[in-house]
Amino acid sequence: MAVHGEMLVFFVLSVLAFGITSHGYGGNNIGVTYDARSLIINGKRELLFSGSIHYPRSTPEMWPDILDKARRGGLNVIQTYVFWNVHEPVEGQFNFEGNYDLVKFIKLIAEKKMYVTLRVGPFIQAEWNHGGLPYWLREKPNIIFRSYNSQFKHYMKKYVTMVIDMMKENKLFAPQGGPIILAQIENEYNHVQLAYDELGVQYVQWAANMAVGLGVGVPWIMCKQKDAPDPVINTCNGRHCGDTFTGPNKPYKPSLWTENWTAQYRVFGDPPSQRSAEDIAFSVARFFSKNGSLVNYYMYYGGTNFGRTSAVFTTTRYYDEAPLDEFGLQREPKWSHLRDVHKALNLCKKPLLWGTPGTQVMGKGLEARIYEKSGTNICAAFLANNDTKSAQTITFRGREYLLPPRSISILPDCKTVVYNTQTIVSQHNARNFIPSKVATNFKWKMSPEPIPTIQQVPVNNKIPLELYSLLKDTTDYGWYTTSFELEKEDVSKRPDILPVLRIASLGHAILVFVNGEYMGTAHGSHEEKNFVFQKSVPLRAGINNIALLGMTVGLPDSGAYMEHRFAGPRFITILGLNTGTLDISKNGWGHQVGLNGEKVKAFTQGGSHRVNWSEIKEEKTALTWFKTYFDAPEGNDPVAIRMNGMGKGQIWVNGKSIGRYWMSYLSPLKMPTQSEYHIPRTFIKPSENLLVILEEENHTPEKVEIVLVNRDIICSFITEYHPPNVKSWERKDKQFRAVIDDVKTGAHLQCPHDKKITSIEFASYGDPSGVCGNYQHGKCHSSSDTQKLVEQHCLGKENCSVPIDAFNNFKNECDEKTLAIQAKCSA
């Protein structure tokens, strides 16, 4: 391999950092280099299938199962950010415990025989509070985030060096025998670079040089950074990098895809986010067919934004539509269809990494991309139909191939179709939320949060203070109090004409109380944080007290000049008085950070005894704490709480926050964006579990329920034209061959761990339609005979296969024969 000057510098830095000899560090560990085709890990080329799994978004007890499922899904790399603000919430005070134990997480990945891409940031975005930057950084004098600014550079270098030193001390980089093969500095900086002009250009150069100078022995990357300085590799983020990526900025760098979005994160007020398994598989096959060598799924497992860790307006559930859902359950067919494309591409590994690429146009929107090594039988082909509406038949090397609309067929020997991106032969499933039979019959108690006046929270500033700087990210809640006096002449004597209180706020939400009575709430949105509260209020002659509870819903996580974002009430006026409009913005305001219930930790066992609790009253009040106890739900399935009938607030179980909920903010579909909230099993004791809810609005929890989560409904939906499953082939002893003599198309079903198929709920051979969990018979079908045959193959088994040719003798008049099966699994 020719070594370019920049690559030589990178390798020399590796040698200086780790003392690598020609024999490598600790045996054969000679580090990670690259050329135009791929990364070269310890001297070997690799096709890399990666998934983003963030350690703070699950519990350590969940990590082994999640990583096992990732490995079984065909991944050989795990990508994670490093989250500065959870590791250093207070300057100089570090936390690497529990689900923040980065070293433990990386070592566990190594135990599972996978590599790691470490995205150090320190800005990460990730829909994480403040983009991962600690709040205290914002208050450093004259700081400008992500710019060639002396303050930011100082703290960034100090933090990045601390993280890298920790990885080195634990021997986690590849030259040390560890799993880390790539490291990332910064994150999608091209999005904001122009805002900083020349300081942005200088910052990119400085950040790259600073990172490379740390001598980690593995390549550094910058995602979405076209001008990434050598030897840093620029990488692609997006949905279709096979078509949108302009390519590496130097001819000797490989094509790497650091974020293939498996759906879209959701914010409160959003409808469901969808991206089909077929579309993702098409994008992956296309990228590898065009010289790609690494793809990372963002996210592969999204998890949960526990506590107050989510970014502005972002839901507590994160990337639930990923191949592994929030609860760590396999979302089918996404998980298995992607597993199969990894298998198909691995069957093409030798041609892809060592063959000569070529492209053959087969017609309009039709092409064949071929990797072939002259004089050998090493050959792989990707046959693509880019027409989104019509199937096409093409002739390639003397054989005909049917290509469904917008699909790619993979031929590891340039002859045999082992996989088509549009044709799913793996199973489907449906998620179920089942009310617990044990964690029920709640006995709720309530404790209203006291509403302060200026007597309890006296005036300390002429105008309302800015909310971010008031709270300093220690709580979501800040009180603003004031009072004013009205004469009898000021107030209308007509009961149908009341004065109007108008509050213009920079975000994010507000609760309004007048003379101790709840007047209502208002909020902004992810797209527009500003809002105006406006409502008629019953003012009286004499002293009137106003208490506003300003609320944040996460800090911003993206954009330029994040240190100059603001929130909270700005202008407060009273309209409709007999004497005209009264501006009380400069009336003098008191301020209190946090709620009384937070200060005494009413959500903990000890703190709950410092609060007076009573039975729930018929008259509903806003801003109320509720508590009850429940026993551990039966079985081993994941657990969630369904917040039926509630408005907005937070939830704790045994003192641990499971995040914010928001049921009253409806999507355009007139449904809450998220109704169920994950309670990790490790948060739950066998009995007497303390459940505390802070409800901000005037709702009560009688309809709240604990549910068990499963994906025990499994399905298959195949036609006679589907190819056999890709696991029917292998590449062994330098030969591509079938694993069995008679390769057949069929339905393949697999129950979740330790469960068996206990019933066949639907079976039809003909023209059924629908989706898993909701199939319907078509106009021609053989349902009764189909049911019996499927039961013979599957009942009582953990997994089963039903070949489609078993139905050849069934009579029906359908032109195209389709087999649909829905089975139920039970322990």
Question: Catalytic amino acids?
Answer: 188, 259
Q: How far apart are CA 420 and CA 408, in angstroms?
A: 6
Round to the nearest angstrom and report the end-to-end CA distance of the chain: 55
75's tokens: 């991944």
Tokens of residue 443, six digits = 């006995």
| CB-CB contact of 150 with 215 (8 Å) | no
Query: Which strand (E) or helix (H) includes residue 344?
Result: helix 334-347
Residue 821: φ, ψ to 5°: -130, 135
DSSP per-residue string spanning 704-738: -EEEEEEEEEEEEEEETTSPPPGGGEEEETTEEEE
Query: Tokens 């064949």 appear where?
Result: 368
Residue 433 contacts by C-beta under 8 Å, 6 or more apart in sequence?
A: 640, 642, 676, 707, 708, 709
Cβ neighbours of 570 (radius 10 Å): 16
Contacts of residue 614, Cβ cutoff 8 Å, sequence gap at least 6: 445, 446, 447
Tell me how crowded residue 738 is: count the other CB atoms within 10 A of its CB. 13
Instruction: Tell me how far apart the alpha carbons of residues 39 and 50 are, in angstroms, rounded to a whole number.
Output: 13
Q: How far from 39 is each of 171, 340, 620, 814, CA to CA, in Å?
A: 20, 23, 62, 50
Query: If 0-12 CB within 10 Å is exposed, 13-18 middle and 19+ buried, where does residue 644 land?
Result: middle
Sheet of 500-505, strand order: 531-536, 500-505, 569-577, 580-583
Question: What's the CA gap between 192 and 194, in Å, rounded?
Answer: 6
What is the rounded CA–CA span in Å between residue 409 and residue 417?
A: 6
How many C-beta atoms lie closer than 10 Å to residue 793's C-beta?
Answer: 18
User: Rounded to an integer, what is the distance from CA 18 to the centroid of its chain?
Assistant: 35
Place of tokens 């109090």: 481
